[in-house]
């Protein structure tokens, strides 16, 4: 990598992080709509399927992940860091469920009381498969717009007969998915929202799929000097432990921006957990690190 190539993203970072910038200026032009994201209609008027010109699917992102499909399930391949992060995803969900008034389901819970998951942007199925194997899970619906990646997910799931009837993959985006009569207990967006062009509109479309009292959980990356240095420069360009081009620093989302997208739209009980990748040890929770790099974030849909 040339010095010029290093200076260019660094200069963009400097301009974006100037102290004089107003809160509105910190929103990226590529992800900030010209008008506020539309509010969801009332339950009586809500259509079963979204009809609009908006799409959360970016063709460039689809092409990138198509190229990574072949070794998705290799623990030492391009998705290695996702495999290592997966246990923390479940830990975070357990923390969210344990914080509610109703106790989380146990292995002996009746089937109708077990959890129903919607995994959006499931990729090769790392989280979806692991969630479906839990004795507290009733069913997992996993969606992704990338056919080659879903083919890998389906082929891998067929190896385990225990997943039959508990895990369903669909090639679609959230715009093409019908809202079920009984929305999901947990909707997950793991390493997804930083690949969406309009996160505010995207989150609006996700909300109807979460049942009142259910959880929306996600993981993403804060847009800071540290995250550019660790994810773009070190992880992608130098060490190549993440395929180059996986992340666009301009689309990273800070915690306060996420809260802004969700404010006043029927969400409560926000939870955040910062995590740091430690070579040789994997991902570890580090308090306060959500301000500088990778983090988990969750909100509970208000009761109606």
Q: Is 302 annotated as a binding residue?
A: no
Main-chain phi, psi angles of 8, to 5 degrees: -65, -50
Cα(46)–Cα(14) distance, integer angstroms: 43
Q: Is 121 annotated as a binding residue?
A: yes
Q: How many CB atoms lie within 10 A of CB 79?
A: 24
**Residue 274 β-bridge partners:** 295
Q: Is 144 annotated as a binding residue?
A: yes
Q: Is 194 annotated as a binding residue?
A: yes
By CB neighbour count within 10 A (0-12 exposed, 13-18 middle, 19+ buried), where does 59 fall? exposed
Cα(266)–Cα(32) distance, integer angstroms: 21
Q: Is 195 annotated as a binding residue?
A: yes
User: What distance separates the 2 farthest-apart alpha carbons in the chain?
Assistant: 61
Q: How many CB atoms lie within 10 A of CB 131?
A: 26
- Please, what is the Cα angle at 215 between 30 and 270, to 5 degrees? 70
Instruction: Determine contact, residues 281/194, Cβ cutoff 8 Å.
Output: no
Binding residue numbers: 89, 121, 144, 190-191, 194-195
**Binding-site entries for Mg(2+):** 191, 194-195
Annotated binding site for S-adenosyl-L-methionine: 89, 121, 144, 190
């Amino acid at each position: 990598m040339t010095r010029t190539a290093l200076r260019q993203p660094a200069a963009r970072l400097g301009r974006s992080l100037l102290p004089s910038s107003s809160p509105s200026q910190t929103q990226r032009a590529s992800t900030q709509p010209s008008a506020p994201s539309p509010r969801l209609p009332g339950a009586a008027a809500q259509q079963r399927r979204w009809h609009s010109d908006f799409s959360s699917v970016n063709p460039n992102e689809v092409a990138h992940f198509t190229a990574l499909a072949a070794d998705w399930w290799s623990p030492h391949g391009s998705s290695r860091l996702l495999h290592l992060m997966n246990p923390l995803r479940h830990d975070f969900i357990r923390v969210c469920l344990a914080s509610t008034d109703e106790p989380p389901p146990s292995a002996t819970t009746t089937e109708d009381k077990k959890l129903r998951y919607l995994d959006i942007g499931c990729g090769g199925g790392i989280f979806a498969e692991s969630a479906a194997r839990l004795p507290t899970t009733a069913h997992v619906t996993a969606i992704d717009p990338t056919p080659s990646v879903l083919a890998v997910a389906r082929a891998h799931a067929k190896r385990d007969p225990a997943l039959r009837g508990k895990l369903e993959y669909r090639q679609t985006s959230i715009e093409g998915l019908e809202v079920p009569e009984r929305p999901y207990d947990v909707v997950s967006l793991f390493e997804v929202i930083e690949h969406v062009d309009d996160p505010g509109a995207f989150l609006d479309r996700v909300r109807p799929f979460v049942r009142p009292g259910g959880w929306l959980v996600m993981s993403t990356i804060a847009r800071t000097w540290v995250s550019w240095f660790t994810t773009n420069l070190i992880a992608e360009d130098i060490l190549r432990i993440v395929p180059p081009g996986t992340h666009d620093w301009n689309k990273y989302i800070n915690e306060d921006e996420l809260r802004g997208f969700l404010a006043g739209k029927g969400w409560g009980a926000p939870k955040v957990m910062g995590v740091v990748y430690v070579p040789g040890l994997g991902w570890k929770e580090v308090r306060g690190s959500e301000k500088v790099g990778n983090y988990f974030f969750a909100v509970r849909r208000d009761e109606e």
